[in-house]
């Protein structure tokens, strides 16, 4: 049973607008959450992360929000750029646990 869920397989957004990607999790032991970006024929690359002691983390155009009570996190990309077109994976890990649990991914397409 998948413990990390990304219910939107795809998202299309116009260049310059905001992209919002959502992720839900079921395991209350998760305390660290990451977003990875993946281009075709490449491995995933780390994008941004957040610890459970925070509710927001920002890095340039990327912001991750965490709502622990709802077991929900989201990634905001503002403004969206053509180079942001990729698959985005949400991942989570528990305290002192190396293993990451991944969602199924959301394919983002940024339209010119």
Residue in 45, 59, 81, 82 binding another protein, rule: CB under 8 A: 45
- Burial label for 30, CB within 10 Å (0-12, 13-18, 19+), is buried
Quick one: which of 46, 54, 59, 78 contacts another protein (CB under 8 A)?
A: 46
Indicate which single residue of 34, 66, 75, 77 sits in contact with another protein (rule: CB under 8 A): 34
Residue positions counted in the chain: 112
Alpha-carbon torsion (80, 75, 109, 42), positive or negative: positive
How many helices (H) and strands (E) would you count in the chain? Answer: 0, 11
Q: Taking CB under 8 A as the rule, does residue 89 contact another protein?
A: yes
Residue 11 as a binder of another protein (CB under 8 A): the answer is no
Binding footprint of another protein on the chain (CB under 8 A): 2, 4, 6, 9, 31-32, 34, 36, 41-46, 49, 51, 89, 91, 93-105
């Amino acid at each position: 049973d998948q413990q990390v869920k990304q219910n939107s397989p795809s998202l299309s957004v116009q260049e310059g607008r905001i992209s919002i990607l959502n992720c839900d999790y079921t395991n209350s032991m998760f305390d660290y959450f990451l977003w990875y970006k993946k281009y075709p024929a490449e491995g995933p690359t780390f994008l941004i992360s957040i610890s459970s002691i925070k509710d927001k983390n920002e890095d340039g155009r990327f912001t991750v929000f965490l709502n622990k009570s709802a077991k929900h996190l989201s990634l905001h990309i503002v403004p969206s750029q053509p180079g942001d077109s990729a698959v985005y994976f949400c991942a989570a890990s528990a305290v002192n646990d190396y293993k990451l649990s991944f969602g199924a991914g959301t394919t983002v397409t940024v339209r010119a």
